[in-house]
Amino acid sequence: MRPPKLRHALIRDVFFEGAASLGYMQFVQKAPKISDVARELVGAKVLGAKIADDVLTAILNAASSVEAWGEYAWIGQHESEALLREHPEMIIAVAMPTLCNAPASAIPLLLVRAVDDHRPLNPNPDHPVRLIKDWVEGASRGTRLGVDRRRSLLETTRAWLDSGSEKGVALQVLPLVCSPAFECRGLDPGGGRTVSIRRNVLTEDELEELYCLWSPTLQLLTGMHPTPWEQVFEIIEGWASPSAHTFGNTPEDEYDMMVEKAKLMLADVARIAGGHNGAQYRIRSLARHLHTNVEVSIDPDFETFLPEKEFVPETTMFKQWTKAVQKLAKQWAIQQPRTITPRFARYVEEMAIAKHHIWPDPMGILAGAIAGEVASAVSWAVGLVQEECASEYVFPFLLRAVETREHGADALLSKCAESDVYRRDAAAIILRRTDSSAELIDSILGNLTDAASLVDSECFCGRVPDTNLAHLLRHRDEKIAGAAAMGEWNAQPRASVRKGIEQDWKDAIVRYPARHHEHEYHLSTILAGDTDLGERWLTKRIEERSDSLYLQRNLIEAITKTFNLESRRCMIQQLPGDYCMRTLLCALVGEDVDLYRDILQLPNLRVHHLAPLQRPQSAQWTTMAMVAMEYGYTPGDVAFAARGAIEVRMGKESAAERGWLRFFEDLRNHPDEQLRKVGQAGCERVEPHLKRILQQEHDEEIYGR
């Protein structure tokens, strides 16, 4: 019975209206799906049905339906709290109703679930923090709900921090407390698959109330060590750029208020940001954006890294900037490492806070320039490692120490090789050394998770000497060997291989499995240009029964295009009946009717007999279809094979089905009787499916997806 509310009202009136009501348990026991019963009873309770809580929760527990429990939680605070007490594990599935009705109970459970969830928020609507964000910003403007929800989040997060819980999760949600944004999404009834997104900021009165939450939020943030400046500035930037929340159409009163409040926030932060160059720089940038004056004090050396304007490398401005960085490098290089390395590390952290994105990395340029000037690269590298600097800043010093054979360089290299942070750079240096043993190379690569990527990069840049490259090409790990081969091929001069390693290179290519999309373009170029190598590579994949062949249609077609008839026939004889060989078999057969007859005579390939018919656009399709029927396949088999191909569609599914219907209708009018039967079988298969698709699309247009 539709609509559901009428059905729920009838259940209420018939079964739950006092003494005259009918008994309902007999119907509950006979119902085919207890989950449907639970949802209907919840709907009736929403409309006032007098159902005892213990009876309803017992039915809900028996149903084990998350959807039913979610609908139950929407009834109110009592129901939401009861659900979370009994089934806290359901918090993700019932987040929205419980957040709306019992935020004090729901938010802590979501925070707990967020502790180990490191997924990005935007593509993951079920992320606990994303659920909180949608709840906070989804409150309709002008209803006070927006401010109330943010206040609830602030109070709950303060209690979370006071209890000593994970502060990283608190840092994710605290900016939401002061977020001025309103945003909601939804499907419009009758809108099919159209999603509506409404964005705005809160009303002027709500913004005034929301600003009162800034001070306690800032107090929580600055009470952490180190100060999470990124979250502080995230809040201010949300107020300083009102148009970012409204597709550029912010109401004038709200716009002016937000900008003025942002200026006050900026002044508050300026008072506590002394000694933090990155924060001071960020304050100055925001002050300019807001056309206000805020006094800041930034270390002149730090400002060297931050040009006033963006520039393009190799321009005059870039050269002047590089010269200034190199001048600073000379000044620092003559000082003691123990004095400068802490300062260097602090500058790296402050640059991240400044959020002044320029390329190339100024701290990387500085590290490289200092490494070229210092007397003891080992001392500098040790100092930077002690300061836990990123590997890209340690690498120039480590490389210089090894190249100059400085005392202590080998010990430092070994130490870095044992570190998860610096192992990759140590491996890069080992690959470049002419005196690295095969055992050392194997040892360091065996401890790297991305060894193949590193080998590819080093070979591509031409940094690997001949002896090391030869060893890499013969490496027992085919991925490392293949990465070395691809890197050598793509190095300058392109599409060439050094003399003396040609056979090792070819053997590595043959061993390289090259999963879907992995170097597929370059591999197809290599194998299509060398027929013998292409045959060896495919033969190896056949021996391995590689399932990746099924998805490598473009690569396989590029290789087999150069094969002559005898090569194709010989390879077909080698094929096993595995499903993953279907793509290769179709490429080998192509539109050759004689080869297709050969396949139909091979019983071990019976599973593939009709695979070449999955391309009805082929010029020889009708001939091949008739050959298949000569070998005992029915018109229905042929129609099923033609329609059985996996398709990637754009637009409505019904349009694609109509295309198939036209194809089979044309066959139904073919002069050959057998092909007419194929057309008839195809129409009988497509027509009911098309009818179902049209009904489904019709329902979606009315009721939504």
Say what the alpha-carbon torsion angle 485, 487, 492, 498 is, to the nearest 10 degrees: -30
pLDDT at position 311, please? 58
H/E stretch holding 296: none
pLDDT at position 189, please? 57
CA 88 to CA 110: how far, in whole Å? 10
Residues 6+ apart with CB under 8 A from 284: 294, 296, 298
pLDDT at 469 over 80: yes
The model's pLDDT over 599-611, given as tens digits with 9 standing for 90+, comes to 999 999 999 999 9
pLDDT at position 562, please? 92
CA 645 to CA 613: how far, in whole Å? 9
pLDDT at 192 over 70: no
The model's pLDDT over 494-544, given as tens digits with 9 standing for 90+, comes to 999 999 999 999 999 999 987 756 788 899 999 999 999 999 999 999 999
Distance from the Cα of residue 38 to its chain's centroid? 37
Q: What is the mean pLDDT of the chain?
A: 90
Spell 377-407 as b/e; 16+ CB within 10 A means b.
Answer: bbbbbbbbbebebbbebbbbbbbbbbeeebe
Could you tell me the sign of the dihedral formed by the alpha carbons of 545, 551, 557, 559, in that order? Answer: negative
Phi-psi region of 590 (alpha: psi -120 to 50; beta: other; left: phi over 0): left
The whole-number average pLDDT for the span 602-631 is: 91
Indicate the pLDDT class of residue 232, thresholds 50, 70 and 90: very high
pLDDT at position 603, please? 93
Lowest mean pLDDT among 66-70, 480-484, 551-555: 551-555
The whole-number average pLDDT for the span 226-231 is: 94
pLDDT at 285 over 60: yes
CA distances from 480 to 367, 440, 499, 548, 641 (A): 30, 15, 20, 18, 40
The model's pLDDT over 96-127, given as tens digits with 9 standing for 90+, comes to 999 999 999 999 999 999 999 999 999 999 99
pLDDT at position 123, please? 92
pTM: 0.77
pLDDT at position 141, please? 87
pLDDT at 550 over 90: no
- Which residues share a beta bridge with 199? 183
SS (H, E, C) 415-432: HHHCCCCCHHHHHHHHHH
The whole-number average pLDDT for the span 340-361 is: 89
